[in-house]
Structures are given as structure tokens and as C-alpha cells.
Amino acid sequence: MLTQDEELWQKELPANVEALLASPLDPLADRSHRTRTGDDVCGPRDKTKVVSFRVPHNAAVQVYDYREKAARVVFGPEMVMLGPDEQFTVLSLSGDKPKRANVIKAICLLLGPDFFTDIITIETADHARLQLQLSYNWHFDVKSPVDPADATALFSVPDFVGDSCKAIASRVRGAVASVQFDDFHKV
């Protein structure tokens, strides 16, 4: 109950965070359906209630406090409850095949192990163009207990999927560019 000196306060969130919190998709179980939106939302959020998010197992969420100008990272499984001056950090990751930027929007960062697939166009030394489908296994090597500097380093790269796909594709293109098509095709 509120006393005569108190006022019921409403926590405003950005529209993209509201959509992610209201989505019925599970961040872990439905990770292959990240481009699909949760259209079967039950209704608007009660802005006077605490904003909470259940961080799944083997995942991390970054919460930024605008008053303290500091970020904290919460590892799952745990429940995150936002303070009055805190906001979730929204991740914009590359997705689809071939990779396109800002396809996947998420609040939590899954730590793996997992894989992603990319399609790249390469050219051999005799100018034959080919498309390759490459799959990469990945995971974040996080030791427990986690050092706060290591935890914030997880969120230091805005799009680790796009950056790693571009870096590996560049190395593959460089290696294939010096090989004739017949030699490449035999390998």
C-alpha cells in the first residue's frame, strides 16, 4: 500500500525492450526462430510492476545503471530485476544465410557451445566463382567465479557473429584466391 507521501511510479522502457520482454519465445529453446516475432502477446505490461527477466542457464545479461554510469552482468540461471535507473543492454547480432547485420535482437547472450552457418562467395586463381556454405562451432570460455572485467568483456564486441564470419570468410577467400579451380575441386 502507498502512504499519503508516496506516488505510484511507472517504469518506461524502450519499445524494442518491451517487445523482447513480451515475446513468448524462449531465448534458449527458440534460438533458431529469432527472426520470428511474438505476435501472440497477451497484452501491455503493467508499468507500475517491477521489470524482471529470467536469465536462462549458460547465458548472460548486461544491465546498465544510468545514475551510477556502471554496468553489471548477470549470469543465469537467475532472475534479473531492474532498478529505477537501470536498462537492459539489447544485442543486435547478424543472422540469416548469408549473414546480414541486425537480424537477431536479444536481451541475453547465450554462451554456447553452439554453431552458426554462413554462405560466402569465393573466387579461385583462374576466376571461377563459387559459393561455399561454412559452419562454425563456438563458445565463450567463461570460468567460474567470473571476474567483473571478464564479464563486461563479453559485451565489448557489438556483433561477435558478424565479426567472426567476416574474419573467417576473409581468410578463406585469401587461401582460395591462390589455388586453381581444378586443384580446389579435388581437395
The DSSP call for residue 13 is -
What confidence tens digit (pLDDT) does each residue in 5-28 have?
Answer: 988 899 999 999 999 999 887 777
Beta-bridged to residue 53, according to DSSP, are: 80
Domains of the chain: 15-186 (3.30.479.30)
What pLDDT is stored for residue 32 in this prediction? 65
- The residue with cell 529470467 is 54
| Confidence band, pLDDT 50/70/90 cuts, at residue 2 | confident
Q: Residue type at 10? A: Q
pTM, full prediction: 0.85
- What are the pLDDT digits (tens) for 91-150? 999 999 999 999 999 999 999 899 999 999 999 999 999 999 999 999 999 988 888 888
28-81 tens-digit pLDDT? 766 666 555 555 556 788 899 999 999 999 999 999 999 999 999 999 899 999
Q: What is the pLDDT of residue 1?
A: 81
Q: What pLDDT shows up at residue 127?
A: 93
- CA-to-CA distance for 57 and 44, rounded, in angstroms? 27
DSSP letter string, 28-65: TTTGGGTTS----------TTSPPEEEEPTTEEEEEEE
Q: CB pairs under 8 A, 24+ apart, for 134-140? A: 134/168, 134/169, 134/172, 136/164, 136/165, 136/168, 137/113, 138/112, 138/113, 138/114, 138/164, 139/111, 139/112, 139/113, 139/114, 140/109, 140/111, 140/112
Q: What pLDDT is recorded for position 110?
A: 94
